[in-house]
Structure 1
Amino acid sequence: MHHRINLILFVTFITVIFASCFRSGTSSDVLTNNKNLNLQTVEELYQFLTYDENRYPLISLHRGGPTTGYPENAIETFAFNASYRPVIVECDVQLTKDSALILMHDKNLDRTSNGSGPLDNKTLHELKNLRLKDPNGKLTPYRIPTLEEALSWGKGKVIFTLDVKQGVPYDLVISAIRKQKAEGYAVIITYSADQATVVHNLAPDLMLSAPIKNTADLTRLNERDIPDNRIIAFIGTREADRTLIEHIHGHGIMCILGTLGNLDRQAKQKGDQLYARFIENGADILSTDRPLEAGRILDFYIKKRNITSKFIQ
């Protein structure tokens, strides 16, 4: 009961502060921290992404955080978001006709570029001649990046979570991570215990994201001998039961809550302070389509609680 009263008071306080900031037009000036995630080794990644009570809550940029003027899955978009605060960059890996790894969500080019048709009918050279569209369909000057270009840019700046699309061999993605020496800031997304096992057997040192929506999901991963410090739990796109989150945290595993979709819409309608509630209720990372709005709330949350990390500079 005491915890619930404190949470209500905190949410009320943050609502009043943000209302004042938005009226004065200074919210981003006050809450922008311009800090990067500076991780050099895979051991540092394990340490940073192991849960403890002082964990540093983070924003994960769904499809890289597209917004007006900035397309999804573009390095320039990653850089724009990372200029505001430490971020995790969730991006999508596809394979070209000539077996190059590029970043794009769709199998077809039409929605996000000035190209058309299946991307796997195009060579990397052909794709590099295209330009990307922002979420409003407006053409930008930005080009389709390769996975290696993104990984090279991200060192000392961000963590990547790589959504490896169907038909893309995991071993090619792992080779790209090895080539860029990105083991300390790259996580591979998996969608089942079977996929997680394949990735872990190919690269036992790499971290992976896996769905954990009940205790049995975690048990299956443990039975496959995947160490807890190699796992980030994706707990779904609605708030998980607190008992489950406490169980996952008891294993030292951090939780990603997908606010993209319904929870983002709730925050837009009811007030962005809901993002603070998601963190108070146990989420450690918010995967969102509203990174600027959610990020401002997390900035305030972090500042008021004086949360720090030696890996954020």
Structure 2
Amino acid sequence: MILGIIGLPQTGKKTIFELLTGVPAAKAPTRDGITHGIAPVRDARVDTLSAMFNPKKTKYAEFELALPPDLQPDNARTASWLDPIRRTDALIHVVRAFESDNVFHILNTVDPARDIETVELEFLFADLAMTELRIERINKELRIKPSPQKEKEKEVIERCHAQLQDEKPLRNLEFNAEEMKLIRSLQFLTLKPMVTVINAGENLEEEKAKHKALTDMLLARGDTVVFLSAANEQEMLELDEAERDAFMADLGLSEPASHRLSRSAYGCLGLISFFTCGPDEVRAWPIPAGSTAPEAAGKIHSDLQRGFIRAETIRYEELIKAGSEKAAREAKLHKLNGKDYIVQDGDVIEIRFN
């Protein structure tokens, strides 16, 4: 699954990309003008399991990032800017809240609420145009041949159209599985889950208080909000571990905010993690929430899904409380689950297969 990074120019999008991927944007692979990267999901549970099993290799879950070109007055609502964003599954919207005489703002002043509305309106207008075109096409098709399925699709899209005319994003509407299937191909921009990153100055607590009304509005409409200072985060990368810990302590941080952002973005994609543990590797595997045990097995290898018999599972918390894999087995904490088992976030799994 792909998460796109969007926002006005000079907001810190490239820095966020680099913080999440650990790769300079200039050195990352580019296709059709879109910069791509892989972001590890910093998960303390992986670190704890790695300390318990002492494997040769430790691997976090990952997701893909896409960094499209900047939104400019001459490319707004154009296919070259919108299409790459439509192909993403969720979005990180980086918004500037920091003041700097050295960094130009395209709209001349720093105003996070205005900037969020500027980008949101571009998405609303693009989606509104999409609904109007689709309704027009369906009406033509219905005049030629009546279809209950087309009538249902028209009903759903008209509901979307009304929502957009009220200047409200589609992610605030509720759709059942059938309705989502009808509109999925339209790739509505305002339907995508959103993480809003407020890229602030050094004093994050002051910035949070200053922008509380904006944060409340974003949370009320279902967005995830992360406050950070990209400049501080970038500076941390250049420090050794002891200096970094001291720097974070001075800022009142228990971990880099970019780690928290990676988890927020991961959750925004609707993903959860299960773990496989052994002497060779401790690994977190990303799967969509609601996946079955055979689907989780297939994430590891297709042969495991085809030959799936049972999934032996233990909750991460139970394993850690037991103190070791051996102690957990002696306490008979592991459970055998069949094909219908829905994997839970934090399951430690061993697949039995034929």
After TM superposition, is the score higher than 0.5? no
TM-score, with length taken from structure 2: 0.28
The structure with the largest helix share of the pair is 2
The structure with the largest strand share of the pair is 2
Larger Rg: 2
TM-score, with length taken from structure 1: 0.30
